[in-house]
Structure 1
Amino acid sequence: MATYKKRGYKPKTKKEKVEVVEENSTTAEVFKSLDEGASKTEEWVVKNQKYIFGIIGAIAIVVLGFLGYNKFIAEPAQKEAMNEMYQAKKYFEEAVNGVESDSLYNMSLNGGEGKYGMLDIISEYSGTPAANLANYYAGMAYLNLKDYQNAITFLSDFSSNDKMLSPIAKGGIGDAFVQLEQLEEGLEYYDKAISANTNEFTTPMYLLKAARVAIELGSFDKASTYLNRITTEFSGSTEATQAEVLIGKVEASL
């Protein structure tokens, strides 16, 4: 059993002398092993230093390139795109609220007064958040112009976690499919609109639309679920009264 020996301790017996020699020998071997390991590591580093520095340099270039791209390319492009989109967005809003809406929706899509339309923003500023938002406006414009295929195409290219825009975009795709008499696809997107966000505006609206399509498809159990959710969770909504009427028809069918 090894015992602790104070510094300066001198072995007295032959056995103790042997133990000290063995201990020193073991320590020497450990340090020798460490030295050899360190030497091998140093040799590997020296031998592969070009490779190592190349990796470090590549990582640095990627990081600096990413930061530089965001600051000097992406951010200015986004700002410019939003400025360019201002007039097209104004046309869209005027179309929603005013007269001659078809003409204004077309100007929102294609531009006017020398300004870009949403289609120009999507093309010229691809990859920017502004181009993504332009997909939403373009899709909704096409939906109002009854160009349902293009409405589906552009709204499908729009991606957002916004609590209002996300369900409206999915609901818009549902509307387009229903107008194309593709009811099952329409119901699928109404379900997506319902699950995208729960709020007092979009949720009861798409629950009612989903219920009507489900009735058309003969899925009365599903329609009943949609309608009962409206009357239970959104009893103060404008859709609640219509839901109560439809519940009676659905129950008669069941």
Structure 2
Amino acid sequence: MATYKKKYKPEGKKAEQQVEEMDSTTAEVFNTLDETASKSEQWIEKNSKALFGGLLAVVVVFLVFLGYNKYIVAPNELEASNELAFPRKYFDEAATAGSGIDSLLNLGLEGADGNYGFLDIAEAYSGTNAGNLANYYAGISYLQMKQYDKGIAYLGKFDSDNAVLNAVALGAIGDAFSDIDQQGDALEYYEKAANVEHNEFTTPLFLFKAGQTAMLLKEYDKAVAMFSEISEKYTTSEQGRDIDKFINAAKYAKN
């Protein structure tokens, strides 16, 4: 490789020596670059099969991922969503029925006439949104039937990107623990539900339940804090209308 030449004439031996040193250094740099490039080329040539195989593997994984989503995940999501319509009908009927609620809820849970219920859908389509939602319906159904352990178990499997629905599920677990007189656990879940997302509906509702539960546990400072947050931030909510009397009651109990 040609070395870099100066375009000016050096003056004196010292200057000439400096130029020669610069030329020598430049040559060394370019020679080093040549050697590095040559080694890189040799390495690539030597490992070309492995590199190509690695690239091919990445492409194959990407194509498999696209195919899996298109031909397996999407059809499963649609199928699971269609299956959910049958038990949902009985769940909705139970919400407005004056009697026979348990039988309707059981039909929703177990299914009938060859149709899946919530339990089947939750198991058979566990990786789908509809399968996840089936856990929620199953959990609420069991709570309405006062089968609290099962209700808590199914609601514990539910996880949604919908913050309000997530809060309601956590709050329902809190209700279940409260009903079986596990107030410490109830308070924990009410607090979780209140903090999922701050909004005018779920936050004051579960802050209020948390405050009431804290009163039962004689955690009066926490009760004051919960009720005060409603007073400061959610005065227009249903819970905020008479919240001052609850704050005063908690302060009185504390003293």
Please tell me the TM-score bracket, short chain as reference: 0.7 to 0.9
Q: Equivalent residue for 2:96? A: 97
Between 166-175 and 201-210, report the one with greater CA deviation. Answer: 201-210
1:20 deviates by 8.7
From the superposition, tell whether residues 248 and 29 of structure 1 become closer, same or farther in structure 2 (CA, over 3 Å): closer
Deviations 1:214-250 (CA, angstroms, capped at 9, x unpaired): 1110111211222233344333333345644434432
The whole-number CA distance in structure 2 between the counterparts of 1:178 and 1:253 is 21
1:125 deviates by 1.0
Q: Equivalent residue for 1:51? A: 50
Q: Equivalent residue for 2:79? A: 80
Q: Secondary structure at the match of 2:114?
A: coil
Deviations 1:158-213 (CA, angstroms, capped at 9, x unpaired): 11231320110110111111122211111010000111122232222212211221
Sequence identity (%): 45
CA contact (8 A) 2:5 2:23 kept: no
TM-score (normalizing by structure 1): 0.85
Alignment of 1:173-212 (within 5 A): 173-212=173-212
1:219 aligns with 2:250: no
Q: Equivalent residue for 1:167? A: 167
Structure 1: any 5+ residue segments left out of the alignment?
Answer: none
Alignment of 1:1-254 (within 5 A): 5=7, 30-99=29-98, 100-240=100-240, 243-254=243-254
CA contact (8 A) 2:105 2:141 kept: yes
From the superposition, tell whether residues 20 and 84 of structure 1 become closer, same or farther in structure 2 (CA, over 3 Å): same
Between 244-253 and 41-50, report the one with greater CA deviation. Answer: 244-253
CA contact (8 A) 2:140 2:172 kept: yes
Whichever residue aligns with residue 216 of structure 1, its letter is: L
1:118 deviates by 1.0
From the superposition, tell whether residues 199 and 19 of structure 1 become closer, same or farther in structure 2 (CA, over 3 Å): closer
Whichever residue aligns with residue 46 of structure 2, its letter is: K
Aligned-pair RMSD on alpha carbons?
A: 2.9
The whole-number CA distance in structure 1 between the counterparts of 2:63 and 2:148 is 44
The whole-number CA distance in structure 2 between the counterparts of 1:41 and 1:240 is 71
Structure 2: any 5+ residue segments left out of the alignment?
Answer: none
TM-score (normalizing by structure 2): 0.85
Q: Secondary structure at the match of 2:163?
A: coil
Whichever residue aligns with residue 83 of structure 1, its letter is: N
1:253 deviates by 1.6
